[in-house]
Amino acid sequence: MTPHRFPIRVYYEDTDMAGIVYHANYLKFIERARSDWVRGLGIDQRQMKEEDGLVFVVRRIEADYIASAHFDDTLEVVTTTRTVTAARLIMHQEVMRGKDLVFQAEVTVVCVNETGHPARLPANIRLLLH
């Protein structure tokens, strides 16, 4: 599957007093990229919740902070599918500044039902992710 690319501009609100991106904001950046990627695949998460009672939730994130990003930097989040099983999706996400790696994470996403219990990823979605 072709990596998904999502541009990000670092705004003042994303930074600390030194003008460096606050560490928690990288999680927001990669979340936005995942949401854009899923939408681009044609998956309507709102419809999935209303019709199937299923939502995606992050189960695990392993994050590495490599370098600092700064106010007004142009970044790109690159999302690649690592593993798709009946119950989980594992992605690798990188935040790049040009050719420089700034941040990377392995993200495990699962589905849960209306009661919060684990559920299988719908078959049509698993097919889209392969």
pLDDT in tens, 54-92: 999 999 999 999 999 999 999 999 999 999 999 899 999
pLDDT of residue 126: 85
pLDDT of residue 117: 94
- Catalytically active residues are 16
Which residue ranges of the chain lie beneath pLDDT 70?
Answer: none
Structural Rg of the chain based on CA atoms: 16
pLDDT of residue 30: 98
pLDDT of residue 92: 98
What CATH code is carried by the domain that includes residue 83?
Answer: 3.10.129.10
Number of domains in the chain: 1
- What is the average pLDDT score of the chain? 95
Beta strands of 10-87 (E only): which ranges? 55-65, 74-84
pTM to 2 decimal places: 0.92
| Domain that includes residue 9, residue range | 4-129
The Cα–Cα gap between 93 and 34 comes to: 9
DSSP 20: B
pLDDT of residue 120: 92
Please report which residue ranges of the chain form alpha helices under DSSP H: 25-40, 45-47, 123-129
